[in-house]
Amino acid sequence: MFKTLNRFMESWEFEAASTQKALNQLTDESLSQEITSENWNLGRIAWHIVTAIKVMSSQSGLSFEAPAKDYPVPDSARFIAESYGQASNAFADALKTQWTDENLDEVIDFFGNKMTKGTLLYFLIQHQIHHRGQMTVLMRQAGLRVPGIYGPSKEEWTQIGMEAPQM
């Protein structure tokens, strides 16, 4: 749970930049990558990350312009990546202008669950991390380069002058 907007913004900036790096690697062809036909494909997960920012935060009364309809999924990877950047920035701007640190202790109804606004912000970050992890597996299956987030990815070890861990 976050107690100050500044602490949240520090975390959001890092996580949003990390998500943007992953989304920027997607191609139109990769959006159809799936584990099984019974599960969401890469494009569906990516678009869900975009729309969830607005859908989830709207439960708190926060108001900003961003996509909120998560189906149908766009067929343009570039559009998805650009939409994420716009939604993420609009969300951050709305927080800075509509909330104060005191708002973070207010209790809201989040799809039938009571939580503070500070907890909702934590949940938003965790939700994004969860789906970003799913994306990276599908990205590997699609033959895409996966960017390092909490450390170097397989491809990035040599760029920093080190040998990649053994398989």
Compute the radius of gyration of the chain from its Cα atoms: 17
Average pLDDT in the chain: 95
Residue ranges and CATH numbers for the domains of the chain are 5-160 (1.20.120.450)
Q: How far is CA 82 from CA 91, 110, 134, in A?
A: 14, 27, 20
**For residue 34, which amino acid is it?**
E
Closest CA to 12 of 61, 57, 58: 57
Assess whether pLDDT exceeds 90 at residue 160. Answer: no
Assess whether pLDDT exceeds 90 at residue 51. Answer: yes
The pLDDT tens digits for 10-34 are: 999 999 999 999 999 999 999 999 9
Q: Is the pTM of this model over 0.85?
A: yes
The pLDDT tens digits for 115-156 are: 999 999 999 999 999 999 999 999 999 999 999 999 888 888
